[in-house]
């Protein structure tokens, strides 16, 4: 269930985590990524192009072409992926969509959402992809068993 991020962003995070969990000198085709993560190929291909355009990943063409990380996994945080796909507006806007929601004119959930928003931003901005490698590999193994 998508709560905060678009499905595109969720899949983008999964794809970049998958690339980070593999050998950094290898590339993975959109087919391999699609199968490993159980994401429709057409959808993941579009997402990977967006991530390539943002500079987080690179692509190579040809028979052995594919996608890989453009930066070391220790230099990429989940917030970078969120910013590339969904942007950071969700961390600055009213969760209920009220215009001009602020501490002076708060919406009904302003204080509660503010605390959650700050915590989510901090979590996404703290750990790097290399710190999430083992957990990512474990999760991918469970996907392959289904």
pLDDT bucket at 105, cuts 50 / 70 / 90: very high
Higher pLDDT, 141 or 23: 141
Is-contact 73 129, C-beta < 8 A?
Answer: yes
pLDDT at 49 over 90: yes
pLDDT of residue 134: 87
**pTM for this predicted structure:** 0.88
pLDDT of residue 2: 54
Percent of the chain scoring above 90 in pLDDT: 64
pLDDT bucket at 29, cuts 50 / 70 / 90: very high
Q: List, in sequence order, every residue forming a beta bridge with 69; answer none if it has no partner.
A: 57
Please, what are the domains in the chain?
7-85+129-145 (1.10.10.10)
Mean pLDDT of the chain: 90
């Amino acid at each position: 269930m998508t709560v905060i991020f678009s499905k595109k962003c969720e899949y983008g995070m999964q794809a970049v985590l998958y690339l980070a969990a593999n050998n950094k000198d290898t590339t993975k085709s959109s087919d391999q990524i699609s199968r490993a993560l159980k994401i429709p190929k057409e959808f993941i291909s579009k997402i990977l192009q967006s991530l390539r355009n943002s500079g987080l990943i690179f692509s190579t063409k040809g028979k052995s072409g594919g996608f890989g990380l453009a930066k070391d996994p220790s230099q990429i945080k989940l917030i970078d992926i969120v910013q590339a796909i969904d942007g950071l507006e969700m961390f600055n806007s009213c969760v209920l969509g009220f215009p001009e929601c602020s501490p002076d004119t708060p919406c009904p959930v302003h204080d509660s959402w503010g605390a959650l928003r700050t915590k989510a931003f901090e979590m996404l901005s703290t750990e790097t992809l290399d710190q999430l490698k083992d957990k990512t590999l474990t999760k991918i193994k469970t996907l392959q068993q289904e």
